[in-house]
Amino acid sequence: MITRDPDAFLALARALPTDFGPATARAAFLVAPDGFRLAEQSARDNAYMADAAAFDAARASAQHRDLQRAVSAVLPTVCFAGNPDTPDAVFPNNVFGTAAGRYVVGRMRHEVRQREAARADIRGFFRDVLGRQEVDLSTQPHACELTGALVIDRARGLGFCGLSERCDAEGARRMHEAFGLRATLLFELAPGEYHTNVVLAVLAGRAVVVCPKGFADPAVAAAIAALYAPHAVVCDAAEHAAFVANCIALSADTVWMSAAAGRALAPAHRDALAAAGLRVETVELDAIEAAGGSLRCCIGELF
């Protein structure tokens, strides 16, 4: 099912068992922020990006190493070298994604990010080292920026896809098929939002973090929250701005977000995550966040 009807989607979703696959990844992959700087093309439709003067390449590199070190304590985490010609490559989950037995290459909107999809080393790692079948969406014309645009409940096989300049309806359909999902809900993001994973996170198949102001229709956000109630965190404006929803569960008992997001997280919302069995872990990433994304954007997942 691919639908824009939240009621039809929820009717199906509530009946699905949590047997689609593991709720959290087996391993993670990162791309180092080598040549970290403002990507002017990406800045055209990413309001979260800072001005060029705010970019600190050395601090970004150090924080990224801290991130890898921290995440490696939870699951195996590999890091590929960056490339000064691809300054956004620090956010690889938009370009490369995985499902059982295969890997997916996304179609990026901006040419500066389309270069990332051509990396032979990352493709070779998935294909030749891990033996994954390739599903290459990068050469077709419809933007589909993978798990930036598409938030996936891996336990149920559900997709939540926000449409914007970074993903159109046909791109969403292609991702739905590539990841083999059972059902995908399509909705418009609010003006000024570029990726769904900045305003929505599904955590270990049993909790959700959602920013209603990131949705063109807040009723869609309410419907998604209802699906995971009582383990639903509905962010206020301050939490939204601090990337609280750009978080990820990397194990059954942890949710990871940036330190800035952790400081913005309301105590009641921290308690709500704890009630869902999720302990909040944080890493300082203010330098990385200058590029318009946060911790979840840095994490590529291996399922």
Digit-coded pLDDT (tens) for 218-262: 999 999 999 999 999 999 999 999 999 999 999 999 999 999 999
Of 41 and 261, more confident: 261
**Dist. CA 203–CA 247, nearest whole Å:** 8
**Dist. CA 287–CA 160, nearest whole Å:** 29
Give residue for tokens 């008992």: 253
Q: Give the pLDDT confidence score for residue 291 in this predicted structure.
A: 85
pLDDT at 279 over 70: yes
Digit-coded pLDDT (tens) for 57-100: 899 999 999 999 999 999 999 999 999 888 889 999 999 999 99
Query: Please, what's the largest Cα pairwise distance for the chain?
Result: 50
Q: What average pLDDT does this structure show over 121-129?
A: 97
Is there a contact between 261 and 247 (Cβ–Cβ < 8 Å)? yes
Q: How many residues does the chain have?
A: 303
Least confident of 93-97, 270-274, 288-292: 288-292
Pick the CATH number of 2-302 from 3.30.750.24, 2.60.40.1730, 3.40.50.410, 3.75.10.10: 3.75.10.10
**Neighbouring residues of 64: CB distance < 8 A, sequence distance ≥ 6:** 30, 32, 33, 79, 90, 288, 298
Digit-coded pLDDT (tens) for 150-181: 999 999 999 999 999 999 999 999 999 999 99
3-state secondary structure the chain: CEECCHHHHHHHHCCCCCCCCCCCCCEEEEECCCCCCCCHHHHCCCCCCCCHHHCCHHHHHHHHHHHHHHHHCCCCEEEECCCCCCCCCCCHHHCEEEECCEEEECECCCHHHHHHHHCHHHHHHHHHHCCCEEEECCCCCCCECHHHHEEEECCCCEEEEEEECCECHHHHHHHHHHCCCCEEEEEEECCCCCCHHHCEEEECCCEEEECHHHECCHHHHHHHHHHHCCCEEECCHHHHHCCCCCCEEEECCEEEEEHHHHHHCCHHHHHHHHHCCCEEEEECCHHHHCCCCCHHHHCEEEC
**Dist. CA 254–CA 281, nearest whole Å:** 7
pLDDT at 49 over 80: no
Dig out the tokens for 299 from the structure: 């994490």
| φ, ψ at 153 (rounded to 5°) | -90, 100
Mean pLDDT of the chain: 95
Rounded to two decimals, what is the model's pTM? 0.95
Q: Give the pLDDT confidence score for residue 38 in this predicted structure.
A: 61
